Structure 1
C-alpha cells in the first residue's frame, strides 16, 4: 500500500492537539523501541537497525513539523507549543544518545553481516553515540544534558527575537524617490504625512537598492541591522559559551573542531584556511569593484570616502544601470510572482522528470500557502508546501523546512519552502533566491525514497547541502528558460539581449560579494572559536579584514545573523558548496540545460541518493573525477 502524506488539521482548534499528540506519540514509540532493544533479546544486526529506523522515522517527522510550525504558524500559541515539543524531542535524543545500555547493543553488532549501506548506518549511529558523550562519566553526561537542553532554549529565543522584532521607520514621501511605482503605490502616506518602511525583506531590500536619498537608506539599513538588539547580545554569548563547553567536555579543542568532524572540510583550522584562500582569490578584483562604486558615489557627493552597507546595493545597481544598460527596477516588470511560481514548477518538472499537482483541498496553516503533490509518472513521490509571503510572526529569511522525512514504503517526504517575497512584481535576484531555495525542496523529495531515514533527503554533509541549490540558480539565468515565464503585463517575453546584459551586469560586484560572504563566514567561525567579550568590536574588526564594504556605526549585525543559530560556526559552507556547485554545473551544456541524459544522471546520482554515500563520492561518481576548485576559479574571474 503506498505511503500517505500527513493529514494536517482542518480547523484552527485542532492545531495544538495535532502538534502535541503527534510529538508525544512519536516519542512514546521511540521510547518503546529503546526498551525493546535493551530487553536482552538476541537480534541480528539488521533487525536492530530496522527497529532503530522505525523509531527514527517517527522522531524525525515529529522534529520536522514542530520545527516548522514553531517558525511559521500564524497562531502564537501553536508556535509556543511547537517550541516546547521541539525541546522535548531534543531532550529525548540527548538522553538516548547517552544511554550506555543501548550503545552496548550497537557496539557489539557485527558489521560484516550487513550490506554496505546498512554498515554505513551502523557506523554513523556509533559515531553519534560518541558525539553525544555516551563514553563520558556520569557527571559529564549530566552536564552535557543540561547544555543540550539550555542550548535548545537559547537558540529558539535567539531565532524568535529576530522573527518577532519587526521595526518600522516613518519617512517623508520624497525619501522614496527612485523606488519603482508599484512599491510607492503599496506604501501609502499615513495620516501623519509619512510612509512606513519595515524591516521585512519586501520593504527593506528594494529600498536599499533603489532609494536615492542616502540618509534614508542609511536609516533603513541601521534599522535592519539592529533587529533583535540588545536582546540577542547576551543570548549569543551564552550560546557560544555552551557550545564551547560541550565541545571541551567531549574532548575537542573548540566548537568548530567538534562541528567539522562530520563535515567535508574535516577540521576547524581548515575553515580558517578556506576563508583566507577564498578571500585572497577575490581580493584584487573585489577592491577594483568597490573603487568603481566609490568613484560613482563621489559624483553624487565628493565628500563620500567609503562605500557602506547602506550604499553597496544602491551604487551596484546604479553602475549596472549606467554602464551595462540594466535597470533592475525596469526588469521587475517581467517577473510577476504568480508567473514566476508557475515557471519554476514547469522548469524543475521538466528538468527532473516530475510534475506537480496542486491540492487546494489539502488543509494548510495559512490561506496564502499552496500545496502540491509531486508526481513521477502517475506515482506520488512526495508533497510540498509553498509559504512564500511575509506575515506577522513568521520566519523572516528564506529556507526549506522538512515536514515529514521520507522512508521507502513507510512515509512520503514532505517539505515546505518558507520565503518572504512580494505578492506582485519580483526583482530578478528574488527569482534566483526562489530557484535556490526550491533546490533544497526537490532534493528533500527526490532524495526521500531511502530505506534508512538517517540518509533521507537533504541528509548529506552540511557543507554540501547548498551545492545542489546553488547549481539550480543557473536555470534562473538562461534566456530561453526565462522567456518561458518572464513576460510583462502585455505578454511580451523578456528580451534575450536584456538577459545577456543582466548576466554581464551580474558579473560586476561578484568578487566584492564573495568577500562579503567571507566576512560572514569569519564572523560565524571566529565568534565560535575565540568567543570575544565584545562582539561589536570583533565583528567590526572582521569586517575591516574581510569585507570591502564599510559597516555603519551603531549597528549590531550579529544580533540578527540568524545563521549563527542554525549553522553555528559553519557559515563557510555557502562558499564551500558554491565551489562544488560550479564544478557540478560544468557537466551540463550551457546551450542545452534540459539535456535529458545529464539531467537524469544528476537527479539519480546526486539528488536521489540523499545522504546514502559521502558527498565527495557522490560528486566523483557524477563527474567521473574528484571535485576541484577549477570551475569556481574560472567563475570568479568572470568566465560563466
Structure 2
C-alpha cells in the first residue's frame, strides 16, 4: 500500500474550508467519472466496473467525512458542514440509483465477459441488485418521490442522532448523597458554589453512579434522566422516519421495511427476525429466571416485601451480587485498569495476535485528546487509525468505529483510515469499558485489514450487516483472559491483576447473561416491530408498544413515565436490525471455539482467522468466510453452551 494518509487541517480555523473543499473535490471526481460512464462507457466490462467502483469510492469519502466529523468535531460550524456533506452524498447516491440511463450501462454488460473474474462478477451482481432495490424500474413520478423520501430519511436520521447526542441531562446532589462512589470519581466531581455536585447522563458519570451510589433516590433520578434523553423531541422524528422507511420499502416491491432491509443480510427475510428473537428469548428463559432469583434474594435483604427489582436498582444490586456471591468488587477491579495502560495494552495484544505494529504519529487531529497511529505489517504501512476516546460537549455519546477513508490497493487507491470514537474515563476504567474498547477496536482492525484489496465495494467492514459485530465480539474474549490482562492490567504499585480475581470476574460475568440476553431481545423486538407495525392500518403509539414489548421480552420492569426508545440511537443506523448483535454473537462464540484458550496467541489459528475472515472484507459471503475458517458452517451450539453455563 503506497498511498499517503489524508492530511487533516493543522489549525482550528482551517477546518470549515477543508470540509468544504474536500467534499466538493470528491463529489466532483465522482460526478465526472459517472457522467463519462453514462455518456461513453468503455467497451471492456471490467473497465466499466472499475470506473463505477472508483466513483463510488470518491462518493464514499464524502459520506465518511460527513458521518465522522458531524459526530466528533468540537466546532458546531464544522459539524453542520459535515452533516450537509453527508446529506449531499446521500442525495447523489440516490440520484445515481434512480438513473435509468446509468442502469442501462450495467444491464447491457455481458455476464460471460466478467465471469472469469469472481470479484468482478460479484460486484456486477450487487450493482444490479442495488439498482433494483433503489426503484430504478419505477415511473418518473415514483422515482422523484423516492428521491424525496430518501433525502428526508437522511435528514431525520441525522436530526435524531443530533438530538440524542446533544441532550445531556443532569441531576445535582449534595456530596453526602454520593456515598459509595470511588475516590477518584469524587475527586473529579467537586461541589460547586451552591454545595452541589453535578452528575450528567454521559457514560463516565451514569454508569458508575448507577452502580455504586448507595442512595436509591440518586440512582433513580439519574436513571430517569438517562432514559428521558431525547424525549419528547425525537418522538415525532421517529414516527416520520419509520413511516418513510415503510413507504420506501413498499414502493420498491417489499412487504415492509424489515423485509427490504433483511434482503441483503445473512438472515435473508424480514419474518425470520422475530423468529430469531423468539429463539434467543426461549434459550435465555431459564438463565434469566436463575439470574432474577439470585438478584431478588439479595434485594429482599434490603426490601423484604419486594416482588421484583426495578430497573434503576439493577446495576447496583447486580454489583452487590458480584461482590457478595462471587467476591468481585468492581471498585477494586478498576484499580487495575488505568486508561493509559489499557490503551497501550490493547495495541500490544492485537499487534501480537495479528502480527501488526502501531507507530504513534504526530499529525494534525480535530482535538488534542485524539491520538493517531500508523498500522504496519513488517515494514509496510497498511493503514492509519485515530483514537478519540474521551467525552466532550457535542460529541457522539456511545462507542463506535467510524470510517475516514476506505482502503484500496493500486496507484489510484487510498490508505484505509479509521477512527475509534468512545467516551471513557481519563483515569481508571471499569472492566466493562475495557471490554467495550477491545470490541470497538475489532471493528477498526477489520476496517484496516480488509482495506488492502482491489475494490472499494468490498473494502473494510463491507460484509453483511448481521455479521459485522461478530469479529468484534470475538475479540472481547482477549479482555477476559488472565494471561492477557496481566500484561497490562496493573495497579498503582505495578502489581498485575491476580489470576484468581480474573477467574472470579469471569464467574461473576456469567451471572446476568440471561438478563442481558432477554434485554437485548427487547431492544431487537422494538427495532423490528417499530418498523413492521407500519404495515397495518393502525400505527401504535411508540411508548405503548415499547411497554408491551418490554413486558414480553425484558427481564426488568418498565419504569413508569420514561421513554427509553427516544434515545435508542440504533433505531437510526440499525433501523429494524438490532437483532444483528445477538445473531453476530452466535457466530462469534463459534469462531472463538477454534482458538485454544491455553494459547490465545497461537499464530496458526490467529493468522488463519485474520487472513480468511478479516482480510477479505466483503469479497465473500460472511457464511462462506466463516465456513472457510472453521472448516464447517457456523452453528448455534457454542452460543447455547455459553448461555446455559
TM-score category of the 2 structures, normalised to the smaller one: over 0.9
Corresponding residue to 1:314 among 313, 316, 321: 316
TM-score by length of 1: 0.99
2:386 partner SS: strand
1:77 to 2:77 alignment: yes
Q: Once the two structures are superposed, what CA deviation does each residue of 1:166-224 show, in whole Å capped at 9, x if it has no partner? A: 11100121221111111111111111121110011000000111111111111100000
Structure 1 residues 53-62 or 589-598, which shifts more?
Answer: 53-62
Structure 2 residue aligned with 1:391? 392
**Aligned partners of 1:510 and 1:250: how far apart in 2?**
40
Q: Which residue of 1 aligns with 2:240?
A: 238
- Structure 1 residue 533: Cα displacement: 3.1
For 1:38-117, list aligned pairs within 5 A.
Answer: 38-114=38-114, 115-117=117-119
The residue that corresponds to 1:530 in the other structure is 533
Cα distance in 1 for residues equivalent to 2:305 and 2:198: 29
Which residue of structure 1 aligns with residue 430 of structure 2?
427
Q: Distance in 1 between matches of 2:508 and 2:263?
A: 39
2-structure distance, mates of 1:396, 1:309: 21
Aligned counterpart for 2:360 among listed residues 358, 361, 369 = 358
Aligned to 1:618: 625
Instruction: State the partner residue of 2:456.
Output: 453
- In 2, the alpha carbon distance for the partners of 1:44 and 1:600 equals 37
Which residue number corresponds to residue 592 of structure 1? 599
Q: Which residue of 1 is the match for residue 26 of structure 2?
A: 26
Higher deviation after alignment, 612-621 or 61-70: 61-70
Instruction: Give the whole-Å Cα distance in 1 for the aligned partners of 2:469 and 2:267.
Output: 14
Structure-1 residue corresponding to 2:138: 136
Alignment match of 2:198 (pick from 193, 196, 221): 196
Q: C-alpha separation between the residues in 1 aligned to 2:56 and 2:629?
A: 30
**Corresponding residue of 2:227:** 225
Match of 2:550 in 1: 543
Is 1:10 aligned to residue 20 of structure 2? no
The aligned counterpart of 1:375 is 376
Q: Distance in 1 between matches of 2:183 and 2:566?
A: 33
Moved more, 367-376 or 45-54: 45-54
* Secondary structure, counterpart of 2:264 in structure 1: coil
User: In the TM superposition, what is the alpha-carbon distance from 1:616 to its structure 2 partner?
Assistant: 0.3
Deviation at 1:328, TM superposition (A): 0.7
Contact map agreement 2:41 2:48 (CA 8 A) in 1:
no
- Per the alignment, in what secondary structure is the counterpart of residue 165 of structure 2? helix
Distance 2:125 2:23 in 1: 27
**1:210 matches 2:212:** yes
Deviation at 1:303, TM superposition (A): 3.6
The 5-angstrom pairing of residues 267-306 of structure 1 reads: 267-306=269-308
- Alpha-carbon distance in 2 for matches of 1:240, 1:539: 15
Aligned partners of 1:278 and 1:518 also within 8 Å: yes
* Distance (Å, rounded) in 1 between the aligned partners of 2:316 and 2:3: 50
8 Å CA contact retained: 2:533, 2:540? no
Cα-to-partner distance string for 1:416-472 (whole Å, 9 max, x where unaligned): 000000000000000000000000000000010111100000000000000000000
CA contact (8 A) 1:57 1:407 kept: no
Q: What corresponds to 2:439 in structure 1?
A: 436
Task: Report Cα offsets for 1:71-94 as digits up to 9, x if no partner.
Answer: 000000000010011111100000
Between the aligned partners of 2:617 and 2:138, the Cα distance in structure 1 is 32
Q: What is the TM-score of this pair, normalised by structure 2?
A: 0.98
Q: 2: CA distance between counterparts of 1:606 and 1:238?
A: 38
SS of corresponding position for 1:592: coil
Query: Residue 171 of structure 1 aligns with which residue?
Result: 173
Measured after TM superposition, the shift of residue 304 of structure 1 is 2.9
Measure how far apart 1:397 and its partner are. Answer: 0.3
Measured in 1, the distance between the counterparts of 2:132 and 2:368 equals 45
| Change in CA separation of 1:42 and 1:482 when aligned onto 2, cut-off 3 Å | closer
2:499 matched residue in structure 1: 496
Does residue 1:506 correspond to 2:506, yes or no? Answer: no
**C-alpha deviation, 1:4, in angstroms:** 0.7
Between the aligned partners of 2:311 and 2:525, the Cα distance in structure 1 is 17
- Specify the SS of the correspondent of 2:493: coil
CA distance in structure 2 between the partners assigned to 1:547 and 1:495 by the alignment: 35
* CA–CA distance in structure 2, aligned partners of residues 55 and 535 of structure 1: 40
Question: 1:393: Cα distance to partner?
Answer: 0.3
